[in-house]
Amino acid sequence: MPASSQPHTASRTSSFKYKPQFGVIVLCKDERDQARMYERLKRGPRKVKVVTV
């Protein structure tokens, strides 16, 4: 692959706006624990998402 002297940049016509987000990962012992933690956290004022990795 030939080296380029210019770094790759996104199109100047792109309407994508980067918005930083910050999060916390809570490690759960199993799926059941994850469901309980989700229910507990969604009662709070923050947006909660479930992720399985």
List C-alpha distances in Å: 3 to 8, 10, 11, 43: 11, 18, 20, 52
Residue in the structure block whose two tokens are 């947006």: 47
Query: How far is Cα of residue 53 from the mean position of the Cα atoms in its chain?
Result: 12
Q: What is the pLDDT of residues 12-46, one digit of tens each?
A: 677 889 889 888 899 999 999 999 999 999 999 99
The structure's pTM equals 0.57
3 falls in which pLDDT band (50, 70, 90)? low
Q: What are phi and psi of 42, to 5 degrees?
A: -70, -10
